[in-house]
Each structure stands twice: as structure tokens, then as C-alpha cells.
Amino acid sequence: MTNVVQPAGSIMVIGAHAGDAENMAAATVLKHTRAGHSATIVHMTLGEAGHPTLPPDAYARQRKEEVQESARQMGAKTIWLPYRDGELPVNDEVKFQVCDLIRQEKPTILLTHWNGSLHKDHVATHEIVRDAIFYAALPAIHREWPAHRVRGIYFPENWEDMEGWRADVYLDVTDVWQGYLNVLRSHELMRGGISSFRYFDYYDALGTLRGCLGGFHKAVALMMQPGAWVRKLQYLPGLEPADQ
């Protein structure tokens, strides 16, 4: 009889606009869904503003199709919230909405924006998610679902969120890199023609750059929550007594 251990972890990514979760975390998600873990992608807004020719309603419909195709490729569930691009509010109503999603989906690991961002919706998402994680973990806060504590919080690399961002973890994503590029290609924004920013080239090159620095062929870098790297030791590594 073989003893098969099923991985029971799950990962949640919360992005401000459709496409953010994908460009900053699709490689990380693919790596873990292919290892048998589950994933949920949450888009705080559809990022429906700013298309040069399509009105927001039409672009929102396109973005829904894009995020669903991305989620299908990642083997992930996708959820979008009904907030407007550029107008994401920061209040307890939104924070409890995200708290409920965390309690419902029970992620082991959560990835979201770092707050050193040039986009106000990204900063808002960081703040909303930080408080939602706190609310979700607190048993004294009674909601429809029981309390859930997220075990690890990371901030992936996003070209708009680089103020004070730091690479703490290098993750080998070599074997999912083509899958990651395909996820990017499912968004018109990444393929080019909407924004002057070269999304596809930037994120493809970033995988090479992080791979060089991390000692892998392709890698992504993640920032840890400030303070999460603190270690509590009896002796410094390498100087432990022989019997330990």
C-alpha cells in the first residue's frame, strides 16, 4: 500500500486591478497549483478605465473574460469585487468583505501589493488586505465563517510598487515560465497597445534578472512582511552546541 500525502495548502492573491495579480504572481501561483495546492485570485477592481478606444463598460466585459482565462490557465478560482478602477475606497465595509473572503477560502499564503506604490488603488489594496488579514484571524470578530489565520504574507514584485520594496525570497519558477508568459498573453494590456509601458517585456526580463540573482534559470522575487524575517535563536547558526 502506498502512502500518498495530498498537499492541503492554498494560496490567495489579491490585486488592485485585473492583471495585477497575474503579472506579479501568476508564476508563483502556477508553481504551487501544479504541486497540487489550490489558489484563489481576487481582483479588487477590473481595471476597466484607461483603454484608448473601448468605453469602461465594454472593457470591463473584456477584462472579465481575460481574468477567467488566466484563472483557467493557472488552475485557480477567480473573484472580482464591484469597485471602480481608480476609486477603490478604504473603509471597514471593504475590509470586512475581504476578511470574509479570507475566512471562506482559508489561504495558507496570501500575496498582495506592497504599499510603496505610485497607484492609489494599489496602496488602498495593501491597507485593506492588511486589516482584513487581522480581522479574519480574530475569533472575537463574529462573521458568517469562523476565524482563519493566514500563515504567510508576501509582497510580489510589481513595477508600480517599487518604493522601498526589497527582494527577500527568490522562488524558482523555471518549470512554469512558459505557462506564466501564456497567462500574461491572455490580457490585452500585457500584449501591448493599451499602455505605453512594456508589460510583457518587463516581466519576461524580470524572470531572467531574478533568475540570475537567485541562481535559477527563471525566478520571481518576493518581499516578506517587515519583521517576518526575525529569528529567535539560542546560538548563532554554525555555533550551536554539538548535542543540538
- Look at the alpha carbons of 113, 114, 118, 119 in this order and tell me if their dihedral is positive or negative: positive
DSSP assignment of 168-232 equals -EEEE-GGGHHHHHHHHHTSHHHHSSS-SS-HHHHHHHHHHHHHHHHTSSSEEEEEEPTTTT---
Q: Which is nearer to Zn ion, 16 or 153 (CB)?
A: 16
Please report how close the Cβ of residue 42 comes to Zn ion at its closest, in angstroms. 13
Q: Which is nearer to Zn ion, 88 or 173 (CB)?
A: 88
Please report how close the Cβ of residue 161 comes to Zn ion at its closest, in angstroms. 9
Q: Which residue is nearest to Zn ion (CB)?
A: 17
Cell 484563489 -> residue: 40
CA angle 159, 218, 204 (to 5 degrees): 40
Q: Which is nearer to Zn ion, 20 or 22 (CB)?
A: 20
Q: Which is nearer to Zn ion, 105 or 161 (CB)?
A: 161
Residue 52 identity: P
Q: Which is nearer to Zn ion, 17 or 63 (CB)?
A: 17
CA angle 36, 41, 47 (to 5 degrees): 155
Residues lying near Zn ion in the complex (CB under 5 A): 16-17, 20
Burial degree of 54 (CB within 10 A; 0-12, 13-18, 19+) = middle
Please report how close the Cβ of residue 78 comes to Zn ion at its closest, in angstroms. 16
